[in-house]
Amino acid sequence: MGVKDPKGIGIVEPQYFTFAQAPHEMPLESGRKLGPITLAYETYGELNAKKNNAILVLHALSGDAHAAGYHPDDDKAGWWDILIGPGKAFDTAKYFVICSNVIGGCKGSTGPASVNPQTGKPYALDFPMITIADMVNAQKQLIEHLGIKKLLCVSGGSMGGMQALQWVALYPDMVLCAIPIATALKHSPQQIAFDEVGRQALMADPDWQGGRYYDTGRQPDRGLAVARMLGHITYMSDQSMEAKFSRNLKDENYSFSFQADFEVEGYLRYRGGAFVKRFDANSYLYITKALDYFDLSEGKLFALGKPVATRFLVLAFRSDWLYPPYQSKEMVHQLKAHHVDVTYCEIESTYGHDAFLIEAEGQTQLIKHFLSETLKR
């Protein structure tokens, strides 16, 4: 147990699993192959003897494997610490919780900043385009490596929810229940458009250098910061921005200049600037493209033709305008039409898309109950 949170997860260690060594590279949806592949992951709680208490949680665009507890130098707990821990929604006293990073990322897993074994240099744009299905296929190797034949649950918010849906689409027999949160079966043109503006801002930065900025001493910090600033607007709601910033000024009066006059401007600049220190620009490009390519609509969730016995709890948030509740309702409609056991809950929250990272109580009640009901079956 860590000192920072005596009742929580405590100190955790990042773990790594490497596979798909040549000549056994993993085939990708694009037709290309990738290997070797390293996946960063963390686990919380204990796998039981029957190996039937494992829950896989999956992260969003800029997330990582560090979902709960503290790394030794952390000031802040992992990104879903509100839901993972003893007595929490994903109760680590009962369940073995695994959080896997995605391929294409920059948080310990193989991505565009990794060394290309064929050249000895970072892949950069020679990294193959990856999809949500490719991320899930890599995670399946990890789950098998951990000796788990069937997951009790797969869950995540935003892109994490897409991975949960993709798990069911590809491996329905391996998933007893799924909890996709604040997500969609496909990106709408508006969602694609926001991603594309972020990518264009990033690629317009001359320090991007066609993606070959590693080891040049320059990287597209300004472009990536703009993309992230835009992201933050879409993660919050009109209401939550009003509550947090209103039209508060940084100084007493208007500056009548182009410096940041309003607190919201200062906040966005700060968040943009902080992000570039922890995220690789090319990973941002690859992962947003994977989001845009994702499409399990129109029955594609059931394309394997296998019956889907996975139970679903679908959660959405009233004020989420990036992944609006109507998209979750479309998902529920699809699932119902294919006779899947699905429960839908729309949680009253003013936090917008960020709500899945913030709303502890509403999510906890629903998830706890759903998991224990699933175990009774």
Residue among 174 and 226 whose Cβ is closer to its own copies = 226
3-class DSSP assignment, residue 358: helix
Selected catalytic residue, list 91, 292, 320, 354: 320
Query: Of the ranges 89-97, 114-122, 255-263, 367-375, which one interacts with its own copies (CB under 8 A)?
Result: 255-263
Residue 288: other Cβ atoms inside 10 A: 23
Give CA–CA dist 101/41, Å, rounded. 6
Residue among 93 and 193 whose Cβ is closer to its own copies = 193
Residue-level length of the chain? 377
Q: How far is the CB of 317 from its own copies (least distance, A)?
A: 16
Measure Cα distances from 148 to 58, 98, 140, 162, 205 in Å: 17, 11, 10, 21, 44
Q: How far is the CB of 304 from its own copies (least distance, A)?
A: 20
Sketch the per residue contact string, 273 through 302, with its own copies: x for CB under 8 A, - otherwise. Answer: ------------x---x--xx-x-------
64 binds its own copies per the rule CB under 8 A: no
Q: How far is the CB of 212 from its own copies (least distance, A)?
A: 14
Residue among 168 and 268 whose Cβ is closer to its own copies = 268
Active site residue 134: no
Active site residue 354: no
Considering only residues 172 to 211 of the shown chain, the ones binding its own copies according to CB under 8 A are: 186-190, 192-194, 196-197, 199-201, 203-206
Sketch the per residue contact string, 109 through 148, with its own copies: x for CB under 8 A, - otherwise. Answer: ----------------x--xx-------------------
241 binds its own copies per the rule CB under 8 A: yes
Classify strands 342-347 and 311-317 as parallel, antiparallel or unpaired.
parallel
What stretches of the chain show up as alpha helix (H) in DSSP?
Answer: 132-145, 159-170, 189-203, 221-235, 238-244, 263-275, 281-293, 325-337, 355-358, 360-376
Among 33, 51, 269, 300, binds its own copies (CB under 8 A): 269
Among 11, 170, 230, 375, binds its own copies (CB under 8 A): 230
Rg (CA), the chain: 21
Q: Which two tokens stand for residue 157?
A: 């918010």
**Residue in 98, 85, 92, 180 with CA at minimum distance from that of residue 147:** 98
* Residue type present at position 227: A
Exposed/middle/buried for residue 76 (C-beta within 10 Å: 0-12, 13-18, 19+): exposed
* Residue type present at position 300: K
Measure Cα distances from 10 to 15, 83, 310 in Å: 16, 14, 32
Active site residue 158: yes
Contact residues for its own copies, defined by CB under 8 A = 30-32, 125, 128-129, 186-190, 192-194, 196-197, 199-201, 203-206, 222-223, 225-226, 229-230, 232-233, 236, 238, 241-242, 244-247, 254, 256-258, 260-265, 268-269, 272, 285, 289, 292-293, 295, 321, 324
